[in-house]
Structure 1
Amino acid sequence: MLRPVDFKFNEQTAGNNKFQQASEQSDVQTKALAEFDGFVELLRANDVDVTVVDDTLSPETPDSIFPNNWVSFHNDGQVFLYPMFSENRRLERRPDILALLKNNFLINGVTDLSPYEAKGIYLEGTGSLVLDRVNKIAYACVSLRTDENILQDFCTKAGYSAVIFKATDANEFPIYHTNVMMCIGDHFAVVCLNSIPDATDQRKVIKTLRDTGKEIIAISLDQMNHFAGNMLQLKNKNGKSLLVMSEQAYLSLNDEQILRLEQYCQLLHSPLYT
């Protein structure tokens, strides 16, 4: 996890990220840092192994708190680097972080997809990709920041198959990252089916999830707007399954959804409003 030093509204990504809102507050960085530290404390209190790396003031990288967009790590030791839409997000790729992690984690090789930036096409890590790591399936809703050709290249190199579809918000604007509208767990999937306008696409997603043994827990567009699709299943040091989300996401869930999720994981939520 990257500890922020200059978190703020990123004008370079605002055009196609409709979930990002400018703040009038002058203490955005202070609040973001407090939320980050509180989140790390919550994870560690639940026996999650967390590696924290401090961001740097230079170069200016206001979105560095989201490293999953530029790098992904895989069980076989493979690391993928991804092409990023905005120029200031490309500066987030830090070889020193990979060198640090190599001291404690298996890294067998690095596949660098970032040269696609020169062609003006992008695939932003596990924001663009929601990975079913057990069944080697990559779910992706296409957008300006999720290119189908790079997705196929990733799948070839990583040994995944792709489930590609279109997803839009309530205003029919393309959803920029797949992990906004769906989350894949070991035995369940949280997904905003209402964001998939094409019936064929929707049936394809549902069939693939069911064929791989996932219980589908559908969320509404309003719940998606409260980041209920943006969850992540973790396992702690004791092998216990945890489902991590923001407080805003948790509060948007109804009692039935919470009960269904609690069959599979302990739910953890933290105030992440900044």
Structure 2
Amino acid sequence: MSQQASNTVLMIRPVQFRMNEQTAVNNYYQKKLEGLTPENVNPKAVEEFDGFVERLRSVGVNVVVVQDTKDTDTPDSIFPNNWISFHEDGTVVLYPMFAENRRLERREDVFDILEDAGFHINDEILDYTSAEEDNVFLEGTGSMILDRENDRCYVALSPRADEELVIEFCEDNDLDPVIFEAYQTTADGERLPIYHTNVMMSIGETFAVICADSIDDKAERKLVLNKLKEDGKDIVYITEEQVNHFAGNMLQVEGAEGKLYLVMSTQAYESLTDAQIKQIESHCAILHAPLYTIEACGGGSARCMLAEVFLPKAE
């Protein structure tokens, strides 16, 4: 049986983080922060990044930090889980990205860094990036929530998650696709697709966090909840307002001695009710870190910053 939580995560330390104008067209969580100039956004993001890494390492999570480069203009490099994923059979998957400047985040030296850290990577890469030529996108574990133990793949369709490509990915990886549409109400009152599934749901070993209210179609909502219940998941329901505070953008990881943690931002944690916290803590500990600048300018939070490494150790 596949493992749901990884002890190793890859993180990219930013050098020119800022609000990415190319992603803002359909990421309605990005916003300009008063009093923050472009010059001091990156130093604030680096401070938050380093603090987050420190928190993870303090509980025994193995964090592989890769320094971003100024050779390319990659304001969103801090979110590597969208362009790459690492699987327990040694497979590495590369994904087609919606924003052109995000395609520049793909870098082969990441493979060498992980191999130097003792991991085995297959010679053949599973590469879907040619879909970009047809304006078709699937942004990794941002677009797809993988229930690895139950071989399911939950996807909210959006401009960054193409249905046909999801099905192709699931066929290639022997996964059961659970496809639906999830929406948010934007600042001007429009109901528009949520850009990434991992903003509104997260799956742990024994539980799932989900904003069921964002799935407007009742039949689709019932389908998703039934699949989670079938697999024995305890469901933690969050509200659309909590999603706005990144309460869906969480990831379960494994720390020292196999202890499990649900990782989130401080903003997400503070939006939870006492009952929700108690429900989560009946399954695993909670770890949170302040990521306010990264969340506002990047429109992503703790989960987006973590590319899980499930690769086998080299012989």
User: TM-score band (shorter)?
Assistant: over 0.9
Q: Provide the rounded CA distance (Å) in 2 between the counterparts of 1:33 and 1:241.
A: 26
Q: Which residue of 2 aligns with 1:83?
A: 96
**2:243 equivalent to 1:230:** no
Gaps of 5+ in 2: 1-10, 294-315
Look up the SS of the partner of 2:236 in the other structure: strand
**Counterpart code for 2:284:** C
Equivalences for 1:211-250 in 2 at 5 Å? 211-250=230-269
Among residues 15, 38, 53, which one is paired with 1:5 in the alignment?
15
Among residues 64, 73, 87, which one is paired with 2:77 in the alignment?
64
- 1:156 Cα shift? 1.1
Among residues 227, 250, 254, which one is paired with 1:208 in the alignment?
227
- 1:23 Cα shift? 3.1
**2:135 equivalent to 1:120:** yes
Q: Provide the rounded CA distance (Å) in 2 between the counterparts of 1:210 and 1:61.
A: 40
- 1:99 Cα shift? 1.9
Q: Provide the rounded CA distance (Å) in 1 between the counterparts of 2:174 and 2:113.
A: 26
Residue by residue, what CA displacement relative to the aligned partner does 1:49-80 show, whole Å, maximum 9, x if unpaired?
00000000120000000000000111111111
Look up the SS of the partner of 1:169 in the other structure: strand
Q: Which residue of 2 aligns with 1:190?
A: 209
- 1:22 Cα shift? 2.4
Q: Provide the rounded CA distance (Å) in 2 between the counterparts of 1:237 and 1:59.
A: 36
- 1:272 Cα shift? 0.3
Structure 1 contact 9–23 (Cα < 8 Å) conserved: no
- 1:21 Cα shift? 1.1
Residue by residue, what CA displacement relative to the aligned partner does 1:5-42 show, whole Å, maximum 9, x if unpaired?
00001000101000111234121101000000000000
Q: How many residues align?
A: 274
Gaps of 5+ in 1: none
Q: Which residue of 1 aligns with 2:303?
A: none
**2:146 equivalent to 1:131:** yes
Residue by residue, what CA displacement relative to the aligned partner does 1:185-241 show, whole Å, maximum 9, x if unpaired?
001000000000000100000000000110111000000000000000001131000
Among residues 105, 109, 117, which one is paired with 2:119 in the alignment?
105
- 1:47 Cα shift? 0.7
Q: Provide the rounded CA distance (Å) in 2 between the counterparts of 1:114 and 1:22.
A: 31
Look up the SS of the partner of 2:280 in the other structure: helix
Q: Which residue of 2 aligns with 1:29?
A: 42
Structure 1 contact 49–237 (Cα < 8 Å) conserved: no
**Counterpart code for 1:16:** N
**Counterpart code for 2:162:** D
Q: Which residue of 2 aligns with 1:258?
A: 277
The alignment's TM-score, normalised by the length of structure 1, stands at 0.98
Look up the SS of the partner of 1:216 in the other structure: strand
Q: Provide the rounded CA distance (Å) in 2 between the counterparts of 1:106 and 1:86.
A: 30
Q: Provide the rounded CA distance (Å) in 2 between the counterparts of 1:201 and 1:56.
A: 42
Q: Which residue of 2 aligns with 1:96?
A: 109
Look up the SS of the partner of 2:155 in the other structure: strand
Runs of 4+ in structure 1 deviating by more than 6 angstroms, as ranges, are: none
Q: Provide the rounded CA distance (Å) in 1 between the counterparts of 2:165 and 2:114.
A: 26
Q: Which of 1 and 2 has higher RCO (CA within 8 Å, sep 6+)?
A: 2
